[in-house]
Amino acid sequence: MTATSNGTPTLEAPGLDWRRQIRFSLIGALSSAFIALAGMPVGLDRRNIIQPLLSMGYLSLLWVPFVLASLAGSQVVLEGMTERVRSSKDLVAGALVGLGSALGLVALMILVKNFNIRDPLVNWSPQLLDLLSFNRSAGLGMVFWIVLGTTLGLMGGAMHVVPTAVRSKTLTVLLSVLAVSVLETFITDLLKGFQLEIFTDFIYYKRGGLEIVGALLVAALAIVIPLLVGDRITVVRTRVREMPADERSRVNLILLLVGSALLLVLPFFLGKITNELLANVGLFVLLALGLNIVVGLAGILDLGYVAFFAVGGYTTAVLTSPNSPGFSPQLPWPVALIVVVVLTGLVGLFIGAPVIRMRGDYLAIVTLGFGEIIRLLFLSDWLSGWFGGAQGITNIPGVDVGFATVNGIDPRSIFLLVLVFSAIAIYISWRLEHSRIGRAWMAIREDEDVAEAMGVNTTNTKLMAFVVGAVLASFSGAIFSAKVGSIFPTSFLMLISIIILVVVIVGGMGNIVGVIVGALVLIGILGGPKQPGLLQEFSEFKLLIYGALLVWMMLKRPEGLVPNVRRSRELHQEEFLQDAWLKGEIDTDDEENPS
């Protein structure tokens, strides 16, 4: 219908694809009903996004028609790539999908009103009905949902029709308001450190959520700031990219130093809660970086990674705590750390040696088993003389650095410690990734047999990945011990392995930045297995969201949140060439055109 801005050929929009609209409407209806019955609207109603307009509870339903409608817009498959096409028919399509989603809720309301199956479905409750009726009569609520759903669907569809600039502006505004609201604790805490409470007092409602004025202010800033900055960032970036290599690396170094310095002073401007939260994120960053080497680089699907975290934690506890039941040398933490690293590395070697000969599914199952075995050993009566069984080990002293003690009482110090070790882990990961062994890991991940045929000693190389992964996990375990002061077998559930794996997958396998972003987003916002995130209200739904996110990522973005920049940059041009080749536009004497 219209030519896209970047000069690709003019595309003709197809007519309304009814089956597609019906499918999306059904997805919308079922998702809305599912979310309602999972208890999210009621459970999250306490948390305000914009007071008094919108709570997290309502948001958990309202995004469905909007997002699905914008996804349902027409598209054309061009040269193997899916292209969006602008078409006014998308407005109709979006409205239909929105209506469909709303009808799902209406149907649910009718059912809840007339039948009672609260027995299996806890959330089949009058509260849900009240909430869905906006505390008015049910009939009025239903009409309201139909109007609201259709409107939101229309808006979602409109995202397809309006010019790109308008679309990106709208999305920026929506996401900024949402982000500022979700990050409330963090922002308040940070601004308090700079004595800027006036600002946060102004935009936030005192019992959580943005005030309407605050939301408007954030929206205004989201529009004005990009206008002020303009394309200066792109200009600077291209200028840096065009610099000669040595100058560019100097710029990168300076940026890195400034960034690190900022990170190091950050804890001093943050309050207890935020420091605690970021320290938890840091522990998971360490774990995820380690697992990233095992899974992301070497392609070994280790489902029992928590074992190394546990060994690191327990070894630290035994070596430093006066309450260690068997052997209690009460070493200072830094000395203990050396032993911990060596010992965990050895455990990695011992577990790895038998496991590493297996491949794929078998390996995953066996590592899962080993992960549990390690936890059960720490729990067992047999070894309780050493590890205290279910009573665990208490009174772990923390890290004595002369002028202060780093322990959980002072989350700021723990966060600083985690930062230092994260930096070490990032450096190790980065160096290894670009080393000879890193390349061997990737070769094994891609094709183990061929890697072997190229002369890679696959057994040793894979073991090496296992050991490095174990060592990075032991850092995390050692800090965890010092932080919490007492450890129990229940601190090392299998769930941790799974969560770390999700962090790695969601962030982007084999990608250091991705893994860090993944940990920040998942652990920081949703929270870890036991650690609360910024959205504490979400703790009930944490696993649901983790699971949904994992499925969605695997289906739609298997490369992770942060795709490997180097490769994607290469691919964006090359994929196009490939597609042109498929169409026979470029002649490459190939099997496609046998002579």
Partner 1 sequence: MTENQVPLLEFRGINTHYGAVHILKDVDLSIFAGELVCLLGGNASGKSTTLKTLLGMVTPTTGDVVLDGEIVTHRSTSYRVERGVTMVPENRRLFKRLSVRENLELGAYLRTDRDGIANDLERVFEMFPRVKERLNQKSGTLSGGEQQMVAVGRALMSNPRVLLMDEPSMGLAPALVQTNFELIQQIHEEGVAIFIVEQNANMALSIADRGWVLQTGKVVLDDSAEALLANPELRASYLGESGNR
- The per-residue DSSP string of 224-259 comes to HHHHHHTTHHHHHHHHHHHS-HHHHHHHHHHHHHHH
CB 590, min distance to partner 1, A? 5
Which of these ranges, 10-18, 202-210, 262-270, 571-579, lies near partner 1 under the rule CB under 8 A?
A: 571-579
Q: Which of 120, 242, 455, 555 binds partner 1 (CB under 8 A)?
A: 455
Please give the Cα distance from 456 to 443 (Å, whole number): 9
Residue with tokens 């032993």: 339
- For 181: left if phi > 0, alpha if psi spans -120 to 50, otherwise beta; the answer is alpha
The answer to whether 181 touches 56, Cβ cutoff 8 Å, is: no
Q: How far is the CB of 444 from partner 1 (least distance, A)?
A: 9
- Phi, psi values for residue 305, rounded to 5°: -60, -30
User: 114 and 57 in contact (C-beta within 8 Å)?
Assistant: no
Nearer to partner 1, 6 or 593 (CB): 593
Q: If you ran DSSP here, which 8-state letter would residue 76 be given? A: E
- The CA-atom distances, in angstroms, between 348 and each of 16, 164, 310, 364, 465 are 57, 51, 12, 15, 9
The angle at the Cα of 14, spanning 9 to 18, to the nearest 5 degrees, equals 155
Window of 174-182, 357-365, 416-424, 586-594 that interacts with partner 1 by CB under 8 A: 586-594
Contact with partner 1 (CB under 8 A): which of 446, 548, 554, 580? 446
Cβ closest to partner 1, residue 443 vs residue 498: 443
595 binds partner 1 (CB under 8 A): yes
Confirm or reject binding of residue 79 to partner 1 (CB under 8 A). Answer: no
Pattern 425-444, partner 1, x by CB under 8 A: -----------x--xx-xx-
CA distance 308 to 371: 8
Q: Is 135 left (phi over 0), alpha (psi -120 to 50) or beta?
A: left
For partner 1, the closer CB: 5 or 595: 595
The verdict on 567 binding partner 1 (CB under 8 A) reads yes
Q: How far is the CB of 594 from partner 1 (least distance, A)?
A: 4
Query: How many residues bind to partner 1 according to rule CB under 8 A?
Result: 32
Q: Which is nearer to partner 1, 363 or 443 (CB)?
A: 443
Contact 533, 524 (CB under 8 A): yes
Question: 130 — phi, psi (to 5°)?
Answer: -60, -45
Q: Shortest distance, CB of residue 450 to partner 1, whole angstroms?
A: 5
Per CB under 8 A, 572 contacts partner 1: no
Residues 464-503 that bind partner 1 (CB under 8 A): none
Residues 224-263 that bind partner 1 (CB under 8 A): none
Residue 583 CB, shortest distance to partner 1, in Å, is 13
Q: Least distance (Å) from partner 1 to the CB of residue 437?
A: 10
- Is 449 a binder of partner 1 (CB under 8 A)? yes
The whole-angstrom separation of Cα 162 and Cα 318 is 63
Q: CB within 8 A of 574, min separation 6: which ones?
A: none
Our CB check for partner 1 shows the closer of 400 and 452 to be 452
d(C-alpha 47, C-alpha 181), whole Å: 10
Q: Which two tokens stand for residue 548?
A: 């949904």
Which position among 78, 404, 454, 554 is part of the footprint of partner 1 (CB under 8 A)?
A: 454
Q: Which stretch binds partner 1 (CB under 8 A): 132-140, 231-239, 327-335, 449-457?
A: 449-457
Among 197, 231, 447, 585, binds partner 1 (CB under 8 A): 447
Asked if 534 interacts with partner 1 (CB under 8 A), we say no
Look up tokens 């994992």; give the residue: 550
Q: What are phi and psi of 396, to 5 degrees?
A: -75, 125
**Listed ranges 107-115, 192-200, 422-430, 574-582: which one lies at the site for partner 1 (CB under 8 A):** 574-582
Which residue number, 539 or 578, has a Cβ lying nearer to partner 1?
578
Stretch binding partner 1 (CB under 8 A), from 131-139, 227-235, 358-366, 585-593: 585-593
Please identify, using beta-carbon distances, which residue of 462 and 483 lies nearer to partner 1. 462
Binds partner 1 (CB under 8 A): choice among 17, 79, 130, 575:
575
Q: Cβ distance 459 to 356 under 8 Å?
A: yes
- Which residues are CB-contacts of 357 (< 8 A; sequence separation ≥ 6)? 459
Q: Which pair of structure tokens corresponds to residue 394?
A: 């208490």
Binding residue for partner 1, selected from 36, 289, 393, 451, defined by CB under 8 A: 451
3-state helix, strand, coil in the chain (%, to 5): 70, 5, 25
Please report how close the Cβ of residue 499 comes to partner 1 at its closest, in angstroms. 26
Dihedral sign computed on CA atoms, order 554, 556, 561, 562: positive
Which of residues 119 and 591 has its CB atom nearest to partner 1 in the complex?
Answer: 591
Candidate residues 231, 540, 574, 585; the one interacting with partner 1 per rule CB under 8 A: 574
Q: In whole angstroms, how far apart are CA 228 and each of 220, 224, 324, 591? A: 12, 6, 60, 54
Residue from 197, 231, 585, 590 binding partner 1 (CB under 8 A): 590
Q: Give the residue with the Cβ less far from partner 1, 381 or 449.
A: 449
Block residue for tokens 């949904």: 548
Nearer to partner 1 by Cβ, of 346 and 580: the residue is: 580
Site string for partner 1, 389-428 (x = CB under 8 A): ----------------------------------------
Q: Does 456 bind partner 1 (CB under 8 A)?
A: yes
Instruction: Give the residues lining the site for partner 1 (CB under 8 A).
Output: 436, 439-440, 442-443, 445-447, 449-457, 567, 570-571, 574-575, 578, 581, 588-595
